[in-house]
Amino acid sequence: MDICRLTLHELRDLIRGGEVSPVQAVEAYAARIGAVDERVQAFNSLTTEAALRRARKIEGMQAKKEPLPPLAGIPLAIKDVICTKGVPTTCSSRILEHFVPPYDASVMHKLNDAGAVVLGKTNMDEFAMGSSTENSAFRKTRNPWNLECVPGGSSGGSAAAVAADMCAGALGTDTGGSIRQPGGFCGIAALKPTYGRVSRYGLVAFASSLDQIGPLAKDVRDAAILLGAIAGHDPLDSTSAEISVPDYEAALTGDVRGLKVGIPAEYFIEGMDPEVEAAIREAITTLEGLGAVRVPVTLPHTEYAIATYYLVATAEASSNLGRYDGVKYGYRTPTSEHLIDMYMKTRREGFGAEVKRRIMLGTYALSAGYYDAYYLKALKVRTLIRQDFSRAFEACDVMLTPTSPTAAFRLGEKVEDPLQMYLADVFTISANLAGVPGMSINCGFTGAGLPIGLQVIGKPFDEGTILKAAHAYEQATPWRTRRPNL
């Protein structure tokens, strides 16, 4: 039995039954990371010794016949933007290269309470700004399906680690598609919850009104289990919703008869890869064959989503990243003549090109004389986009769209063209602006053998219906059984 090939729920059941020990699971994954991560480059740091200590503690609970928590002994990976006490949290940036948080994020407390074991922190686009994980200050993560291609971004390290069987599941963050897009590129199940469903306390902020933590997993059931473990109200996060968390795993009935599936015309655009469009339309037909009902819907302000996002997100990033000044924590330039010179050199040397670009865009949009023309107008259009979703969901239960217009592109292909890179998230951004949940699952492969992502978008706080639809499709198709050959 290859422990690393098991899904999270399969491994969970074997640990509960005593057929696999938590230490065996950690050792198996540590060996897998040692065997393949030199090529994939998914991890920024490893916590193998701490993971083994925690695994032995769980085995001690088993020996005493104590009840096990729901994720007891499950080895996970954590995106390097989520604070972990005593473990570096770098955001893949030079400015935080040596930062070690003195506290855990709320999601880490929840995972610890659930018995999960952390294997390490995963690579990402710097401060979660990017769509390919090429903006990391440390390494370029590669797609396990083709090492010459990107894994997507910004949660590319988490997505690649799951796809390459280097962890049983992972956490990522999604500000404009950063869970779903790499999930689609790497052929896994990846879910962005409703804004407010999961606490952001301890998440290093990029754009505070858009960021959300969510799971990346080997299949839909695993995603449901992980979401259940991290969701729920948190008094430490003022944007955390006081809404009860249902049993997401129980929602996976496989029955989608009568489910109304909206197909927004605006998401089938000129320039989309024909192989992607064909796979999405085939997926729609598959769900219809399972009893779902196709419903045409419209999201008329979709064409303004990218422009709106890159005003709102950069404005918030400009404000959030002002704290990295070389005074309080993080990197400080070793040479400066006076205070202002220290500020300027610290930020020039500590931030990468994409982060600087977004700070400048956001600062410009917020500046005197331009605030009303840009930022305020973007907020008004964001409201229109949110209203589009509300009206569309009056006619349907979920919507189906592509996750991205193409499959994974080659390393270096778009890094010099920011606009083309931004367009990789054209189908995911609107869900963040509207605050609604969305999920990507694999719906086939291109002729070159790269995964194609199907996005399922749901009503606010109705992740259960998304998971039900995605699970029914997943069980009716063979895609989940394929693994990259590393």
Q: What angle do CA 315, 320, 326 make, to 5 degrees?
A: 130
pLDDT at 423: 87
pLDDT value at residue 317: 98
Are 43 and 173 in a shared domain?
Answer: yes
Task: Assign residue 162 the CATH number of its domain.
Answer: 3.90.1300.10
> Is residue 182 within 8 Å of 158, Cβ to Cβ?
yes
Q: Which DSSP letter does residue 237 get?
A: -
**Segments of the chain scoring below 50 in pLDDT:** none
Domain-located, residue 278: no
User: Which domain, by its residues, includes 375?
Assistant: 303-381
Active site residue 79: yes
Catalytic: 178?
A: yes
Q: Are residues 237 and 316 in the same domain?
A: no
pLDDT at 270: 82
| Rounded-to-integer distance, Cα 115 and Cα 24, Å | 15
Whole-angstrom distance, CA of residue 135 vs CA of residue 310: 17
User: Is the domain of 312 the same as that of 190?
Assistant: no
How far apart CA 156 and CA 424 sit, in angstroms, is 14
377 is a domain residue: yes
Is the domain of 234 the same as that of 368? no
Max CA pair span of the chain: 70
Assigned domain for 115 exists: yes
**Do the domain assignments include residue 8?**
yes
**Could you tell me if 242 and 320 lie in one domain?**
no
CA dist 464 and 362 (Å) reads 35
- State whether 218 and 347 are in the same domain: no
Q: Distance of alpha carbon 442 from its chain centroid, rounded?
A: 15
394 inside domain: no
Residue 122 lies in a domain: yes
Residue 89 lies in a domain: yes
Residue 334's φ and ψ, nearest 5 degrees, are: -80, -15
Domain match, 357 and 252 both: no
Task: Go through 315-325 and write b for each residue having 16 or more CB atoms within 10 A of its CB, e for each that does not.
Answer: bbbbbbbeebb
Concatenated DSSP letters of 306-346: HHHHHHHHHHHHHHHGGG-SSSSSS---S--SSHHHHHHHH
Give which of 384, 378, 387 is closest to 315, Cα–Cα.
378
DSSP of 336-375: -SSHHHHHHHHHHHHS-HHHHHHHHHHHHHHSTTTIIIII
3-state secondary structure of 391: helix
Answer whether residue 430 is part of any domain: no
Query: Do 206 and 337 share a domain, yes or no?
Result: no
Whole-number pLDDT of residue 419: 82
Q: Write down the pLDDT at residue 428.
A: 98
Positive or negative, the Cα torsion across 198, 425, 77, 13? positive
pTM exceeds cut of 0.95: yes
Say whether both 244 and 318 belong to one domain. Answer: no
Tokens of 152: 């997507």
Determine whether 154 is an active site residue.
Answer: yes
What confidence score (pLDDT) does residue 37 get?
A: 98
Catalytic residue among 93, 131, 154, 199, which? 154
Counting the structural domains of the chain, the total is 2
Catalytic residue chosen out of the listed positions 93, 136, 158, 178: 178
Q: Are residues 176 and 322 in the same domain?
A: no
Query: Do 235 and 322 lie in a common domain?
Result: no
Token pair listed for 30: 């540590």
Same domain as 48, residue 192: yes
